[in-house]
Amino acid sequence: MTQTLLRQFLDMLAAERRATENTLQAYRRDLDDFAAFLARSDRHFTNASPANVVAYMRGLGDAGLAPASRARRLSAVRQLYKFLLSEGVVTEDPTYGYAGPRKGRSLPKTLSVAEVDRLIETARARIEGANGRDRVRALRLYALLEMLYATGMRVSELVTLPRSVLAGDGRVLTIKGKGGRERLVPLNRAAREALTRYLDVGYEDGVARMLRTKYLFASRGAEGHLTRQRLAQELKQLAEDAGLDPQRVSPHVLRHAFASHLLDRGADLRSVQQLLGHADISTTQIYTHVLEERLKQVVFERHPLAVRGDRN
């Protein structure tokens, strides 16, 4: 019964909300955990009580799960019961009235312009002198890095780009984001040139690497394209080579850098929202807090009063 209801819920998310496979897997993990907790008390989705929900959330807190992770678990359970109510499977929502954990405002991690430049220069330097497959990998990483910083694309959007995306104007890509929503993503000259170098190498000196798949960043793996996990690993190694802390560098951090640097140079919030593919501008507004914190730091470190110790 439990697995049947969970499968029906996930099918609804996929069909009606166009949830991605990663999203569906995250829901399944969270709800499997909740189901296992209920089973230990001989309960299941259809007869869980508010007390069960409270006990579950308290247990997550006692286990040291972060407030944000607990809030995500609660959200998954809420969505499940919203579905079960609509289907007439249950008559009451056991999560109703439960406030859940408070989440502190977490500012996105980012990099300075100088740090991004170091990454790009290090990636470009790797190409020189490289041959064969090493040269292909170096060109691929360089193209991916330039495109990440030039567009702010989600890593899942970037690594799954189809070759057909190049059919139109090479200066603007049409990509599908969350929920299947399409948006236009402009490419600057540096990104276009890096991408062209990467694509052209497949036809140089007989290098057999241009796999005939539908993906732009092809791979020999089962997916047919470079995975986001592999790209994250390559970026961390690049960070080490560039003398940066690898823990501070990831595809998502470069997305944050793209947005923060645009706003820092006067871009309006609505434009950044469209470029990032955010459905709600409140999601984009977090980057304004990054700028506020940076301005505070400048004042605290540079203002004469701050230097004399008056930081109030």
Q: What are phi and psi of 40, to 5 degrees?
A: -65, -15
pLDDT score, position 59: 93
Q: Which of these is catalytic: 225, 228, 255, 261? A: 255
Q: Where in the chain are all domains bearing CATH 1.10.443.10?
A: 113-297
Distance of CA 93 to the CA centre of its chain: 31
Q: Are strands 172-176 and 182-186 parallel, antiparallel or unpaired?
A: antiparallel
Catalytic residue, from 154, 228, 256, 261: name it: 154
Amino acid at 96: Y
What are the backbone angles phi and psi of residue 186, rounded to the nearest 5°? -75, 145
**Per-residue pLDDT for 125 more than 60?**
yes
78, 163, 178, 192: the catalytic one is 178
Q: Are 44 and 1 a contacting pair, CB within 8 Å?
A: yes
- Give pLDDT, residue 209: 46
Judged against a pLDDT cut of 50, whether residue 190 lies above it is answered with yes
As a whole number of angstroms, the distance between CA 85 and CA 93 comes to 7
Share of the chain above pLDDT 70, in %: 86
User: pLDDT grade, residue 168 (50/70/90)?
Assistant: confident
Q: What is the pLDDT of residues 34-50, one digit of tens each?
A: 999 999 999 999 999 99
Instruction: Look at residue 97 in the predicted model and tell me its pLDDT.
Output: 84
Catalytic residue (one of 27, 56, 81, 287): 287
Give the pLDDT of residue 212: 54
pLDDT at 245: 94
The verdict on domain 2-86 having CATH code 1.10.150 is: yes
Could you tell me the two tokens for 310?
């008056």
Distance CA 37, CA 33 (A): 6
The overall average pLDDT reported for the chain is: 84
Residue 156 has pLDDT above 70, yes or no: yes
Residues of the chain with CATH 1.10.150: 2-86
* Cα(71)–Cα(75) distance, integer angstroms: 6
Question: What whole-number distance in Å separates Cα of residue 312 and Cα of residue 305?
Answer: 10
The question of whether 126 is a catalytic residue gets the answer no
Q: Per residue, what are the HEC states of 230-282?
A: HHHHHHHHHHHHCCCCHHHCCHHHHHHHHHHHHHHCCCCHHHHHHHHCCCCHH
- The pLDDT confidence band at residue 242, using thresholds 50, 70 and 90, is very high
Is residue 255 part of the annotated active site? The answer reads: yes
pLDDT value of position 106:
59
How many percent of the chain have pLDDT more than 90?
A: 47
- Report DSSP letters for 62-94, one per residue: HTT--HHHHHHHHHHHHHHHHHHHHTTS-SS-T
Classify 113-297 by CATH class.
mainly alpha
User: Coil, strand, or helix at residue 137?
Assistant: helix
The residue that leads in pLDDT, 266 or 48, is 48
Q: Please state the rounded mean pLDDT for residues 56-67.
A: 90
- Determine whether 29 is an active site residue: no
Q: Would you tell me how many other CB atoms lie within 10 Å of the CB of residue 14?
A: 14
pLDDT higher than 50, residue 211: no
Query: pLDDT grade, residue 103 (50/70/90)?
Result: low
Q: Is 220 a catalytic residue?
A: no
Q: Residue 90: what pLDDT? A: 92
